[in-house]
Amino acid sequence: MKHVFLLVVSLLQSPQLARTQTHDNTSCKPVTTSFCQGLGYSTTPHPDGVQGFNLRQIGQIVETACSPHIATVMCRVVVPECGSESDSRKKPCRALCQKVKKDCEFTLMAKWLFWPMKLGCETLPESDCVQDEGLLVPPVPPPTCQRITMPLCADLPYAETILPNVLGHKTQDEAATAIRQFSSLVRGQCSSHLKPFLCSVYTPKCVSGRAQPPCRSLCEKAKSECATSMTNLRFQWPEALKCEAFTTESCEQLPQPATKQTDDRTSCKPVTTNFCQGLGYSTTPHPDGVQGFNLRQIGQIVETACSPHIATVMCRVVVPECGSESDSLKKPCRALCQKVKKDCESTLRAKWLFWPMRLGCETLPESDCVQDEGLLVPPVPPPTCQRITVPFCADLSYTETIMPNVLGHKTQDEAATAIRQFSSLVRGQCSSHLKPFLCSVYTPKCVSGRAQPPCRSLCEKAKSECATSMTNLRFQWPEALKCEAFTTESCERVVSQLPASQPARTRTDDKTSCKPVTASFCKGLGYFTTLHPDGVQGFNLREIGQIVETACSPHIATVMCRVVVPECGSESDSRKKPCRALCQKVKKDCEPALRAKRLSWPLKLRCESLPESNCVQGQDVQVTPTLPTPTCQRITVPLCADLSYTETIMPNILGHKTQDEAGLEVHQFSPLVKVQCSPHLKPFLCSVYSPKCVLGRRQAPCRALCEQARSSCEPLMRSFGFQWPDGLNCEAFTSESCEQVPPLRYLEKSPSSCQAITSSFCKDLPYTQTVIPGILGHTTQEEANLAINTFMPLIELNCSPYMKPFLCSAFFPKCVSGAAQSPCRVLCEQVRSRCEPVLNSFSHKWPKDLRCEAFTNEHCGQYGMSSSGGVCEPITIPMCQGLSYNQTTVPNLMGHTSQRETVLKMAFFNSIVQAACPADTQLFLCRVYAPQCVEGQVQRPCRSLCEKAKRDCEGLTVNFGLSWPDELQCHLYPEENCISDNSKLEVLRAEEVLVKLNAGGYTIHGKPLTLKTAQLLMILMDRNKSGDLDVEEFLKLQHFVAYIRREYAENYESRNPPAVTQTQMKKAIAAHNFNLDGETFDALWSVHHSNTGIDYDDYVAVLTKLYILQGNQSFHFFFSFHLF
């Protein structure tokens, strides 16, 4: 997406590039697009459409026939006439484009289509151009200042902007879409200058009708301060925002970062959010919510009423009271926030809502704040020393730390997560000073209840020694760890953390510093004391334990322990060190065993550094194993307590010796498991941290399971600045155990059974029952629904009309006798052929789980498809809607390849038929031009139906100078296996009318019409008083409702909530030429109004009643005047 953005920007900045190609006659080609025929020109330089437009989507827009001029505007822009680049007379006029765009707005919306963003009417000429002869072309005013509506920039010190901006964005919507690429940086708050700079580019300040240019120094500050974050997020500063391109002239006038803005009374505004009313305050500096919060989601949370104080906490944080920034008395208390968060957890989870990540209770005050009177706010105890639990820092010379640390991490879990960014550097052992320095920052030594500050010289040594490695790894030293920020006062205290090889040792190996050997695997080796009970600096005692536990050599413990946990006095006495030859033999003997267990010989343990004589040799030492044989044990790790297996074995593959240790580390993945980024994540994590115990051995993790979990969850982790852990590299695992791991679809302990589909997205399928687990392994419908939601952006792009039925058939497969029915391969291939290119354009691949080859064609009929590839599609031809069938296929019996082409070809003859011939003739025409499609197969009309239509109509059409068309000769149609004249036009009852109207988009904000209003509309349109509507009557009803809906949307929808006031209703009635006395109006108003006025449904009902009361004459006048 970023590359597309840069391409667009470069094109906008270099328009001359687009003009280098001349449109001489040699480059002209015939116009081949069917919907662009008959528009007065036949050649174009772009027969496949101008770069940047999707010709298929343009065709769908033209097929709506939403305006008589829709084809003219679309085609002359997308498939332009030869020579139009230099001749404005061949381009559509700006006013025509704007009129068409306005006329088509609601039709496109109802069909989930969108006006192409690249087709900006303002780029078209105002005169000497193609226009509707009856259309006045008013002069277009120059750009003017406009109120900022982009959410990110809504709280700046200036309130007005002007477009286009310096990047060429012509609307704020367009600018808002482009600025989203910076969302991760803005959320991370890497610089207080970033937001003001971005807003100065995308929504520049409007000064006297001109845009204030961006400031170069502001750009440079934002870019430099965010450099580390950009490196970690792999984000590249856009070329179009090169700071050298901006000026320094406007820098004095630019806004300061939002944090410097004071909460004075001049910026206070009324609280308008309805769920924040009645909380004891009425003004706020943020009526639309503090930047970073979604006010609609906050409203959904408040509406759950999960706690009596939910509104207090949410509103006082998101829509804060004026003055709260400097007055804690106006903020909610920390204890109240924590209580509400805890009380609401289960309710929010049940409704698939989440506590806002940005609303951290720990940032709120503990006292002098808004609290529940019945809630005791206990005094928070001062920080105390605590035992180090961060695995990376567990083997230091000190064992206690204190939180928060100098970086503000309040828990060791938080510190452990943050320190992982250095894992590649630590593994590379670029400096012996790196680990002591990092631990002094993230888990500082606790001295008398205070944190010992990090040492500057230790920082400088670690940073300089790792410089090369950081360059190779493209890792940037974090700004927060600048060495200049640390002190030299504590350096003397951390000398004990330096490695033994350093010459500046201050401690001698005298007997007073010897300590007992505590490592269990180093006992029974002939010595009992050591200077390094937690291991010599640079070795990982846990990994050494794993190597010893392999028992790959009888002398493995001797070599490892006498080097890593050396005997007291060994530094000056070679007789206490293992011999070089013994070390080399053990290393050689252990090589295959360590490789098999994915362990490696410690790089720092070099045999050549050991003595050749006067040393410990194998025959002099009896190695007695002290470790008991590992046995199966019941799983106690909470995350893994509900697996299909119940026993594990320790140590696991990561070396955790106890389940407590494993549970502590796997807990960091709990947020990912909770948001269910992948149904495979939890089984995979448990197979690593709590592996299945099989006959006293641990079952290795499965590589395929790892890859499935990683592919789904890694993008989410990256969006929050985290990487997939190196220790969980999928390549390190085997595929041998995958066959033994129960497939996800069978993880449920109870047998599968059919259950009703609960997903609102998949409610209108040809079936209503699904089975869980399904074919993709989701263990609940909620899990499947969450997974299908990831496809919503693709669905909204409307890349395929079959996307919804295909996804539902995969995520909620049809249940037949307790078994899941395979999705249809043809359906999958139809979707993939259209949507995969869209995915690829956003650098995404078609999901492996949805490979079409895995599906069958056994059950394609229910989706309107045949195994041979025939596909049914909804009828969009207006004159053929409302029949006894609603699915057709292309090409039709006349060879037309699209319904748009069909409309154009049958329009004239059909208009004569509608005026002169019986309804059966129209039925026959529709069965030819839009033939019925059943399970992908076309249903041909019978010869008898053709003959009847011709007999009834041919004599009548002669009056119009029109003979029966040659292509409709009746001998071309079969006498058997066809559709006869028994099929009549569909008639509709009120309930069916209501369903069709609401399904057709005749709603406002998703609020449908009611059955009562549908019944009124039936009364108005039912000419023969039959109690139902035929096709023609229903079409007129649709036009009537469409006009009233548009009238309502244009005039009253902007009110919040949308409604019509009493005065407005009187004016609307008068505009429809109704003369009501006051008593009649009051009677209507009393029946239909609510507290806010008259809503959309009642508005339609009132006007319909008036047309019924005044009789058909006034209605027919309305119908002919407004609609035709």
Asked if 745 contacts 774 with a C-beta cutoff of 8 angstroms, the reply is: yes
Condensed to tens digits (0 to 9), the pLDDT of residues 853-905 reads: 778 777 777 776 665 556 778 888 877 876 778 888 888 888 887 888 888 77
Rounded Cα gap, residues 569 and 566, in angstroms: 8
Rounded Cα gap, residues 117 and 112, in angstroms: 15
What percent of the chain stands above pLDDT 70? 85
More confident residue, 1123 or 344: 344
Tell whether 233 and 297 lie within a shared domain: no
Specify the pairing of strand 932-934 against strand 887-888.
unpaired
- Provide the pLDDT confidence category of residue 139 given band limits of 50, 70 and 90: very low
Is residue 119 domain-resident? Answer: yes
Tell whether 876 and 849 lie within a shared domain: no
Tell whether 94 and 162 lie within a shared domain: no
Start-to-end CA distance of the chain, whole Å, equals: 44
Q: Position 948: which residue type?
A: K
The tokens 């590359």 sit on which residue? 3
Domain count, the chain: 9
Tell whether 275 and 355 lie within a shared domain: yes
For 720-798, where are the alpha helices, taking DSSP H only? 781-789, 792-796
Give the CATH number of the domain where residue 728 resides.
1.10.2000.10
Rounded Cα gap, residues 186 and 206, in angstroms: 23
pLDDT given for residue 604 in this prediction: 82
Is residue 22 domain-resident? Answer: no
Mean pLDDT is highest, among 364-378, 430-444, 792-806, 1025-1039, for 430-444
- Provide the pLDDT confidence category of residue 94 given band limits of 50, 70 and 90: very high
Tell whether 962 and 997 lie within a shared domain: no
- Provide the pLDDT confidence category of residue 250 given band limits of 50, 70 and 90: low
Instruction: Please say if the pLDDT value at position 335 is more than 80.
Output: yes
- Whose CA is closest to 277, among 321, 337, 224? 321
Instruction: Please say if the pLDDT value at position 983 is more than 50.
Output: no
**CB hemisphere CA count around 1039 (13 angstroms):** 19
Instruction: Please say if the pLDDT value at position 79 is more than 70.
Output: yes
Instruction: Please say if the pLDDT value at position 404 is more than 50.
Output: yes
Asked if 883 contacts 17 with a C-beta cutoff of 8 angstroms, the reply is: no
pLDDT given for residue 186 in this prediction: 83
Average pLDDT of every residue of the chain: 79
User: What mean pLDDT is predicted for residues 938-961?
Assistant: 81
Tell whether 1114 and 1013 lie within a shared domain: yes
Tell whether 412 and 481 lie within a shared domain: yes
Is residue 23 domain-resident? Answer: no
pLDDT given for residue 744 in this prediction: 38
Tell whether 859 and 878 lie within a shared domain: no
Asked if 273 contacts 295 with a C-beta cutoff of 8 angstroms, the reply is: yes
pLDDT given for residue 132 in this prediction: 67
Pull the structure tokens for residue 533: 């009970």
Using CA atoms, how far residue 1121 sits from 134, 1022, 1106, 1117, 1124, in Å, is 17, 20, 17, 6, 6
Tell whether 181 and 294 lie within a shared domain: no
Rounded Cα gap, residues 714 and 694, in angstroms: 30
Is residue 465 domain-resident? Answer: yes
Dihedral-angle region of residue 486 (phi above 0 means left; psi in -120 to 50 means alpha; beta otherwise) = beta
For 42-190, where are the alpha helices, taking DSSP H only? 55-63, 70-78, 94-110, 172-179, 183-188
**CB hemisphere CA count around 428 (13 angstroms):** 17
E strand segments, 921-1013: 932-934, 937-939
User: What mean pLDDT is predicted for residues 154-161?
Assistant: 84
Is residue 322 domain-resident? Answer: yes
Is residue 165 domain-resident? Answer: yes
Pull the structure tokens for residue 301: 């949370």
Instruction: Please say if the pLDDT value at position 14 is more than 50.
Output: no
- Provide the pLDDT confidence category of residue 490 given band limits of 50, 70 and 90: low
Instruction: Please say if the pLDDT value at position 560 is more than 70.
Output: yes
For 243-378, where are the alpha helices, taking DSSP H only? 295-303, 310-318, 334-350
1015 burial (CB, 10 Å; 0-12 / 13-18 / 19+) is middle
Tell whether 155 and 79 lie within a shared domain: no
User: How big is the CA angle at 1071 (ends 1068 and 1075), to the nearest 5 degrees?
Assistant: 90
Instruction: Please say if the pLDDT value at position 624 is more than 70.
Output: no
Is residue 500 domain-resident? Answer: no
Q: Which of 17-31, 184-198, 806-820, 1105-1119 is least confident?
A: 17-31
Rounded Cα gap, residues 157 and 256, in angstroms: 8
Is residue 379 domain-resident? Answer: no
Tally of residues, the chain: 1124
For 85-171, where are the alpha helices, taking DSSP H only? 94-110
Tell whether 711 and 762 lie within a shared domain: no
- Provide the pLDDT confidence category of residue 558 given band limits of 50, 70 and 90: very high
Q: What is the DSSP letter of 523?
A: T
Domain containing 1102 equals: 990-1123
Using CA atoms, how far residue 9 sits from 178, 356, 682, 942, in Å, is 10, 34, 43, 58
Q: How many CB atoms lie within 10 A of CB 443?
A: 28
Tell whether 180 and 95 lie within a shared domain: no
- Provide the pLDDT confidence category of residue 721 given band limits of 50, 70 and 90: low
